[in-house]
Structures are given as C-alpha cells and as structure tokens.
Structure 1
Amino acid sequence: MSIHRLLEIVYILLDKREITAKELAEYFGVSQRTIYRDIDSLSVAGIPIYTVKGKGGGIRLLENYTLSKTLLSEKEQLDILSSLQSLKALNVPDVELVLAKLTAMFDINNTDWIDVDFSQWGSGVVEKEKFNLLKTAILNRNVVAFDYYSSYGEKSYRIIEPIRLLFKGQAWYVNGFCRTKDNLRLFKISRIKNLTITNETFSINEHDDIGNNPQDPTNNLTIKMATLVLKIDPCMAYRVYDEFDQDSILHNKDGSFTVTVTYPENEWLYGYVLSFGEHIEVIEPKYVREIIKKKLEENLRKYL
C-alpha cells in the first residue's frame, strides 16, 4: 500500500468528484484490484469514499467532503500548510504541487503568505543567485567549486561537498566538507566568488551526518563579545525600536535613549555604530569608545 497513492486518489476525487477504477489503475500503473484495495484502506481510515456500480458509475467521495473532517484538526492543517509554504519560499522542488494538493484537500485558501529572500539589500543578481546554486547543490548532492576570500583578503580555490546553509552572527554560511583542506569547514557566503556547480556528486558518508550532530559546527569560530551602553538621539527612535529589544531600551527624560546590547566585537560592530552618524554616543566600554573615536578621526583626516 502506498501512502502517496492514497493521498493522490483523495486529491483526484476532490478535484473530479468521480473517476473509475480503470482510470485510476491506468493513471498509477497498477491493477484495478490494487485500486479497490486502496479504496478499502481509505474507507477503513474514515474517508467517506464509495463506489457506484453500473453504467455511469465509478468511485466517489461524499459530497462537500474535505480531508479536515476525518484526519487532522484545523490547527494541524494550518501547521502543515505553513511549513510547506515556508519550503515553497525556499524553492524546494515539488513543494508547490504538494501544497496545492493539500490546500484543496483541506479546503483552505490564501496560503501564499510568506516569501524569503536571503540576499542583502542592494545585492546584485549574482549575489542572489548564490543561494539558489548552493540550495540546488545541497539537495542534489553536487560538488561545488569557488574562489574564497579570507577575512584578510587572501584568495584560495575551494572544492567542497555542501551540506547545509547556516545563519550565524549576522551572516550566512555554507557548511560542507572541504576537499582542499580535507575537513569540515564553514564558508561565509559573502566571501564566495565565481561559484559553480560541478557534475560530480557525492554520497552519504561519515562527514555528511553533520545534520544529526548536536554539536554546533560554529563552535570553532572564535567570537569575542562586547556589551555596549549606547546613548542615541530622539530622531533615531525608528531605528531604536526596530533594531533593539524592548527590554534593552531606557527612554530618558530628554527624549534620548540609553540602549544596552551585547554584540560580536568586530568590524561589523564598529560599522554598525558608525551607521548612526552623529546621533549616537558609546558610553561603555571605554575601549570601544576609543576605537570609534579613532575611526572618526581617521575618516575626518580624509576630508581635510
């Protein structure tokens, strides 16, 4: 008995309302006896399916029937459709067809509620295409090759077996087995250039089981954290409430905000603080305040 075939039969009947056993047998490439066994299984499961003998007869569902009445609660239906809609947004193969079928079975409309774009604002077509290429390679188990630039600007050529995409610390990474280094590695996607999918495929093996490994693959990343106390002008209220947790915001009497946050201490952090322009002041820690001050002085010298 094929669960997929049983669901397909219900979907066909919901769409057509009536079909013969012969037509179903030809559609699935099985015998009519198999179809009748499937009908019996659906009936036992509580699906109101029945056959009408004689001329003009066939297999039918009870009029106005939807799958929701027998198998799944309304919440379970919505949870399933939400999960499938999320996968559709990621362009996972065949999800749209399954989503359409279950939407019809559940008699629920308006499932097109989510869209996901992994690229940054202002990204070009090439940058956006990286995610599609990596997703395709991961799903089809294709080896990929690319030029990779380290944080120091050093270029190297890499060949990897990609396993999954990962978002960590304000950045996207691809996790995979690097044949060049003969080890599992993380690669920051923004530093990947000239990405190509090869025709070579890789099979499941010991390093491909990382998805089932509870150990965080980014634990080998050394990340220094810094807790900052920031004073932000009232005119930046839209950013304060957009970008910081409510519990970290103190609204001062003069209209300004005092915000306490903990971020990875790196160039991203300094650039983020500087993005507020003259409307922000680093109160603590003192050494970060001095770094920001130095960067502002260096920038000023370029305009003198």
Structure 2
Amino acid sequence: MKLERLISMIYMLLNNEVISTSALADKYQVSQRTIYRDIDTICAAGIPVVSYQGANGGYGIMESYKMDRSLLGSYDVDTLVTILNSLGTVFTDEQASETIRKLQTIQRDTSGPSLTLDIGSRRASTDSLRMLRTAIKTKRLVSFEYISMKNERVHRDVEPVCLMYKNQNWYLYGYCRLRRDYREFRLNRMTELAVQDMTYHSDHALPVQERKEYSARTDLSFQVVLRFSTQALAKALDFFHDADKQFGVDGSMTVRLKFGSARSEWLQPILLSFGSHVDVVEPPELKRQLRSTIEKMLRHHSDPHTAPYEESS
C-alpha cells in the first residue's frame, strides 16, 4: 500500500544521510517515477526532504528535523536494536525491521554493539515458530503430536495464545482442548505440527509472568552431593551452575543440590552422561539406582537376543 511505503520511506530517509532514487526504487519494487511522486508527497506533508546532486546524490532529510536523540538513552536504543535483530534471525518480520530503522535514527554509538543476543533455533524449530506465530495472529487452531514427560505420545488440538522463550527453549502457551485447560508445550517435543483452517473466537489471557519460587512452596529436604573430576568441570557447570559449589585441592568440584522429592529419574540420565567423571557422594540410594541402571544397560547390550527397548528384570 502507498501509505505504508511512504511511512517506511520516511524512516529510510531518516536513517540515511543520502539515499539514491534507484536504491529506493529497488527497495520498494516500484519505478523511479513513483519514487519522485512519493518524495513530492512527503514534502507536501511538511517533512523537509533535501535533494543532493552528483554521482553520489539522492535524497535526505534536513538534520535539524530528525528525532531528538535524548528521547531514549543510548543503552536503551542499543538494547532494543539487539533484541529486535535477534528476533529477526527467527522471524521474518518487516515490522521489526521498520522499528529497527526507526531506532537507528537516534542511535548515538555506531561503533558496534556491546551486547549480542542469539535466540535462534534449528531450521525445523524456526519453521515451527513461524507457523505458530502466524496461527496466533490469525487465531487459528493448531494440532500436533506431543511427547509428555511420561513419554506418552498424545494428539493435541490447541488454541495458541503466545510463544515464550525461557530456559534456552521455546514454548507454546495455549488452551488445550484435550485437557480443557491452559498448558505450556515445549517445541522440540512437538511432531506433525499443522495449522488448521478452523479459527477460534475465545479471548485468551496471557500467562501470568510473576510466579512464586519453587523453594518458597516446597520443603527442599532431599539433598544430593556430587563430585566431578577436573575433566568434567565445564560440563558440570553447564548443568548445575546454580548449585552450591566447592573446589578441592586436586581440582575436583563438589556440588550440593536440594530438592523437594527423592525422585531422581530426571537426574540419572544427566549423571550417566558424565561416565566415570562423577561420583555420587550422597545419598547412597541414588548411587544404588545408578548402579542398577548401568547393570541393566550392560545386560541389554551384551545379550544379542534382547529385543529393542526390552526392559531387563
């Protein structure tokens, strides 16, 4: 639409000292004659466009007319540009690009960002994010197969509300028609994602962002103490960076974790991935559980007649 092109062109002119007619024509996929008419329209609206002659000529806006740079602090502008640029690696969003161009007109420091942010995903996840965002904007039902924490594969029909990025993972928040309640779905556990033609008309509220800490509502009485060798320090910190840590004279690291339950099914696979570079100091029952799991694995892989995924007794 012409109005959208004119608004976008104004910000292009604000963001560049001089920009040529051919560059504007290529940008908006119109003829140079159309650009001349657009420039006349912008001038008629009271915006002082200046014409520059010569090989490097083109159009620009009088410097005195440009936005007051004191409107936002340089830190605010840099941070907003960084966030929007990061979103641009996931979503093809012309509105975000336009906002970046607006902010760059008042960006003071052009030496380079002091902050970078990468929230990109694998290609498959990126495609899913774009599909889900489209479904949210158009209020269309989405369907997918979902693997739950119990390793159950269940078909879900969901009215999508919003996408959330937390704990280095993307989630879909929406109303699940199967459970008849709001749920969060982790994207990497979705398969066969599809956006349906069916629209929904409910006005769903966004999720409540303010949540109580787990420690405030749970008695953290179950303690695990682990000792990691020097060969596993980096990996251990990746998994347990929030735990209490103590380094030994030999370079090993001891971490203390507290939970509200003695159930450790989620912890076992993590500890097994460390191989011989972790020692369970306490509790002894966790050490026994790990030993039992390793023995089952050995029996499973040593018996050529064991069926795939058969649980050894």
Same fold (TM over 0.5): yes
Partner of 1:251: 247
Tell whether the 8 Å contact from 1:67 to 1:106 is kept in structure 2 after alignment. no
Secondary structure of 1:253's counterpart equals coil
CA distance in 2, matches of 1:136, 1:301: 49
Residues 141, 199 of structure 2: 8 Å contact kept: yes
Equivalent position SS for 1:181: coil
Q: Is the 8 A contact 1:66 1:106 kept in 2?
A: no
Mapping for residues 27-42 of structure 1, pairs under 5 Å: 32=44, 35-36=45-46, 39=47
Pick closer, same or farther for the CA change 1:83–1:128 going to 2, 3 Å. Answer: closer
Q: How has the CA–CA distance of structure 1 residues 302 and 137 changed in structure 2, closer, same or farther, with 3 Å as cutoff? A: same
Instruction: List per-residue Cα deviations over 1:68-106 (Å, max 9, x = no partner).
Output: 644333223223322322332341622123213432443
Aligned to 1:96: 97
Could you say which residue in structure 2 is the equivalent of 1:115? 118
Contact 2:13-2:61 at 8 Å conserved across structures: no
- 1:1-304 to 2 correspondences below 5 Å: 9=10, 11-15=12-16, 23-24=38-39, 26=41, 32=44, 35-36=45-46, 39=47, 60-62=61-63, 67=67, 69-91=69-91, 93-94=93-94, 95-106=96-107, 108=110, 110=112, 113-119=116-122, 126=124, 129-166=127-164, 172-203=170-201, 205=203, 208-211=204-207, 213-214=208-209, 216=211, 227-245=223-241, 248-262=244-258, 265-304=263-302
Counterparts in 2 of 1:72 and 1:234: CA distance versus 1, 3 Å: closer
- 2:309 alignment counterpart: none
Deviations 1:176-206 (A, max 9, x none): 112233322233433322110112333451x
Q: CA deviation at 1:66?
A: 6.2
Identity, % of aligned positions? 22
1:38-74: CA deviations, max 9, x gaps? x5xxxxxxxxx6999xxxxx994137x8646443332
Closer/same/farther in 2, CA of residues 117 and 230 from structure 1, 3 Å limit: same
Return the TM-score normalized by structure 1: 0.69
Q: Distance in 1 between matches of 2:187 and 2:63?
A: 52
- What are structure 2's unaligned runs of at least 5 residues? 22-34, 52-58, 303-313
Q: Which residue of 1 aligns with 2:27?
A: none
Q: Tell me the distance in 2 between the aligned counterparts of 1:165 and 1:59.
A: 39
Instruction: Give ranges in structure 1 of 5+ residues lacking alignment.
Output: 40-48, 53-57, 120-124
Bigger shift: residues 70-79 or 168-177: 168-177
